[in-house]
Amino acid sequence: MEVNDLKSYLKLEIIWRDEHMFELKVTASNKRFSGTTEVYDTSESLYNFAQKLIGFPKDDKQLMYELGKQNGYAFCSLKFYCIDGFGKIGVHIILEDNVNTEFRNEEKSKVKFEIIVEPAAIDNFQKNLLDLSNKQKGIALLYGNDNRLIN
């Protein structure tokens, strides 16, 4: 399935790297709202986040992953949480881009929305994140539950 055909999704793609860090292009959509930002991260940070996603949700009912600095140049916040007792998981996404001045808030590009996912999608995403952190190249894609073939 091509990203252009997806309804809701979260995509992390490494677009630049050196020996100390890499740049992630984070793109997300819930079909109505979408956004993109580019933030820096390290293999260790991404690996640690991927490890926390194993078996989510278990004891943790909420999991956060943030990159960049809110109201800084670029920012990404991913908050994973349980919606119900039937396995649905919400992902609250905040993306900020081109936030280069503290004096002109209207120039800041920001978006905040939610996608709904299922545990199997989290498991696949977690494996893709581990691969990204190890190889420092590629894409990790989290499919929203509205991308099932029956929809």
Evaluate if residue 150 carries a pLDDT over 60.
Answer: no
**CATH number of the domain bearing residue 91:** 3.30.2450
Could you give the 3-state DSSP secondary structure of residue 110?
Answer: strand
In which band, very low, low, confident or very high, does the pLDDT at 104 lie, cut at 50, 70 and 90?
low
Look up the pTM and report it. 0.90
CA torsion, points 135, 67, 44, 21, in degrees to nearest 10?
A: 60
Q: Measured in Å, how far apart are the chain's first and last C-alpha atoms?
A: 14
Structure tokens at 38: 């580019």
Looking at the structure of the chain, the number of domains it has is: 1
User: Nearest CA to 75 among 37, 108, 105?
Assistant: 37
pLDDT of residue 102: 63
Which domain range does residue 14 map to? 3-147
- Give the pLDDT mean for 18-23: 94
Share of the chain above pLDDT 70, in %: 87
Evaluate if residue 132 carries a pLDDT over 80.
Answer: yes
pLDDT digits (tens, 9 = 90+) for 29-65: 999 999 999 999 999 999 999 999 998 887 768 999 9
User: Nearest CA to 31 among 150, 145, 149?
Assistant: 145
CA-CA distance, 122 to 118, in Å (whole number)? 7
pLDDT of residue 100: 63
